[in-house]
Amino acid sequence: MMPWLRSWVLKALRNARGFCGPHRQQPPLPDPQKIVATWEAISLGRQPVPEYFNFAHDVLDMWSQLEKAGHRPRIPAFWWVNGKGTEVKWNFEELGEQSRKVANVLQDMCGLQPGDRMMLVLPRLPEWWLVSVACIRTGAVVIPGVSQLTEKDLKYRLQASRAKSIITSDSLAPRVDAISADCPSLQSKLLVSDGSRPGWMSFRELLREASTEHNCVRTKSQDPLAIYFTSGTTGAPKMVEHSQASYGLGFVAIGRRWMDLTKSDIFWNTSDTGWVKSAWTLFSAWSNGSCIFVHELPRVDAKIILNTLSRFPITTLCCVPTIFRLLVQEDLTRYQFQSLRHCLTGGESLNPDVREKWKSQVGLELHEGYGQSETVLICAVSKGMKIKSGSMGKASPPYDVQIVDDEGNILSPGEEGNIAVRVRPTRPFCFFSCYLTLLYKALPTWFSTLVAH
Ligand SMILES: Nc1ncnc2c1ncn2[C@@H]1O[C@H](COP(=O)(O)OP(=O)(O)OP(=O)(O)O)[C@@H](O)[C@H]1O
């Protein structure tokens, strides 16, 4: 064959097979607004959930490409400060690189396979966000916990979940050592520390050596992503499993509508990393291309929070009502929050007095939201909604939320009852998959919880 003809045939074949060689031009990147709008439509239940979905590959790596192509302002994707002058800033590309390294550590050093479970108990350190993303890259199921867990709590959680690996810091490691002989499933322990400890692998050392090359696993939308233990208000903590889609896609619209997040926003949620709210922030902020801001905040201190809000260009703030109660006790006229424009709260009842004080001194409303470990956001006061004292807002789509009696009958306005989410005939995709032992099928038509206030 003539050389020019051969090269023409080869080129045509390559293009026909979708070969990504040097001759083939990459298709132009879609408009970020259109991509987020598609994810948002899925998260509102208006479009079907795709069969395969992986947040790290489909969302974070997409933002990394969009960012490289100049479709995002030059703000970090992750911004961590410790209040002592140390800062960590990653854009989406750097976040991708770092989390791929962690994925290699989890796979090669901890032997984690898709579906294996890893317990993640760290204070607000950047490693928490890296491990969360790395678990998604490897298909490992993350089980976050708070640093206050006692030996008994740890033993219960490790035994019940049959976690294969745990990653934690110096303060919790002795408690894990005290009970690990009773947890036969636990095969590897990673320590996030500048020191070392017998029986533990040094996470930071392994990370230094790890490769940045990693192939993200292809996960189905229904594959497990995370297991949360509920607070145990009404009995022993239950193990709630969420899927790749329920968390990975379930927060896009919540991020847009309740949190009012865009690719230009810098979002600070002061929540402990062990609470679901930390994961809620991760998925809602990053799917909308926003920056997650974190202060190490070893102890809750109103002055530190107010100074941080004055010093950094934080646009969106989320704290539990208890923290807002502390903040409004300070002299807020001494602070200027140049960039702050939207405030959120949830996790416990908000006292109207706190909302009014915040509004009168800062000039911003507090937008309340309500949800449980089993759900994403159930109802909320979205931006622009009329704020009524004592109300937690309106149903957050795709949920059909009603107030029902103990038999599941819908009550009239003004009657006291249970907050209920309709789960039959159509199960909302963002609802939890199952309690680890109690199958979803066992639930009645309404999933309900006693109204707490
Ligand atoms: N805006 C809010 N106002 C009042 N309470 C809230 C609000 N948001 C969340 N909550 C509380 O947080 C709880 C969700 O916490 P979580 O799912 O961890 O477990 P739990 O329901 O407390 O515990 P368990 O199911 O183990 O008894 C809600 O049930 C509710 O009591």
Taking only the tens place, the pLDDT of each residue in 265-294 is 999 999 999 999 999 999 999 999 999 999
Q: Could you give the CA distance from residue 321 to residue 342 in angstroms, rounded to a whole number?
A: 15
Residue 140 has pLDDT above 90, yes or no: yes
pLDDT of residue 30: 78
Name every protein residue with a CB atom under 6 angstroms from any ligand 1 atom: 230-234, 237-238, 346-349, 368, 370, 372-373, 392, 449, 452-453
Under the banding of pLDDT at 50, 70 and 90, the label for residue 74 is very high
- Domain residue spans of the chain: 34-397
In whole angstroms, give the CA distance from residue 115 to residue 71.
Answer: 34
In the predicted model, what is the mean pLDDT of the chain?
Answer: 92
d(CA 120, CA 131): 8
Q: Quickly state the pLDDT bin for 26 (edges 50, 70, 90).
A: low
| Beta-sheet strands, E only, within 30-97 | 78-81, 87-90
If you take atom 26 of ligand 1, which residue's CA is the nearest one?
Answer: 232
Contacts of 292 (CB under 8 A, 6+ apart): 77, 78, 79, 129, 267, 269, 281, 282, 285, 286
- Cα dist from 80 to 124, 208, 285, whole Å: 9, 19, 15
Q: What pLDDT is attached to residue 18?
A: 35
Residue 86 scores a pLDDT above 80: yes
pLDDT for res 10: 40
| 307 Cα–ligand 1 center, Å | 30
Side chain identity at 272, as an amino acid letter?
D
Q: How many angstroms separate the CA atoms of 99 and 93, rounded?
A: 10
Q: Whose CA is nearest to atom 31 of ligand 1?
A: 452
Q: What is the DSSP string of 149-180?
A: --HHHHHHHHHHHT-SEEEEETTTHHHHHHHG
pLDDT, average across residues 109-135: 98
Model confidence over 247-259: pLDDT tens digits? 999 999 999 999 9
User: Which pLDDT score, from 0 to 100, does residue 236 have?
Assistant: 84
Provide the percentage of residues in the chain whose pLDDT is more than 90. 86
3-state SS assignment for residue 277: helix
Report the predicted TM-score, pTM, of the whole model to 2 decimal places: 0.91
What is the whole-number distance in angstroms between the Cα of residue 177 and the centre of ligand 1?
31
**pLDDT of residue 5 exceeding 50:** no
Nearest atom (ligand 1) to Cα of 368: 1
234, 275, 366, 370, best to mutate for ligand 1 pocket (most atoms within 8 Å of CB): 370
Task: Say what the ipTM of the complex is.
Answer: 0.95
Peptide bond between residue 398 and the one before it cis (omega within 30 degrees of 0): yes
Picking from 89-103, 162-176, 321-335, 435-449, which range would have the lowest pLDDT averaged per residue?
435-449
Q: 346 CA distance to ligand 1 centroid (A)?
A: 9
Residue 19 has pLDDT above 90, yes or no: no
Q: What is the pLDDT of residue 4?
A: 44
**CB neighbours (10 Å) of residue 159?**
15
- Residue 230 reports pLDDT greater than 90: yes
Q: How confident is the model over 24-52, as a mean pLDDT? A: 88
Domain 34-397 classified CATH 3.40.50.12780?
A: yes
Whether the pLDDT of residue 78 is over 70: the answer is yes
CA distances 252 to 286, 300, 308, 448, Å, are 9, 29, 27, 24
> Which numbered atom of ligand 1 lies nearest the CA of 233?
27
In this prediction, residue 437 carries a pLDDT of 76
* Tally of CB atoms within 10 A around 19: 12
pLDDT tens across 393-442, in order? 999 999 999 999 999 999 999 999 999 999 999 999 999 999 997 444 44
Residue 15 has pLDDT above 60, yes or no: no
Contact at 8 Å (CB) between 140 and 99?
Answer: no
Q: What is the mean pLDDT of residues 231-238?
A: 86
Helix/strand/coil for 77: coil
Element (H or E) spanning 346, and its range? strand 342-346
Residue with CA at minimum distance from ligand 1 atom 28: 372
For residues 419 and 450, what is the distance between their CA atoms, to the nearest angstrom?
A: 6
Residue nearest to atom 14 of ligand 1 (CA): 372
pLDDT in tens, 380-403: 999 889 999 889 999 999 999 999
Reported as a pLDDT band with limits 50, 70 and 90, residue 33 is confident
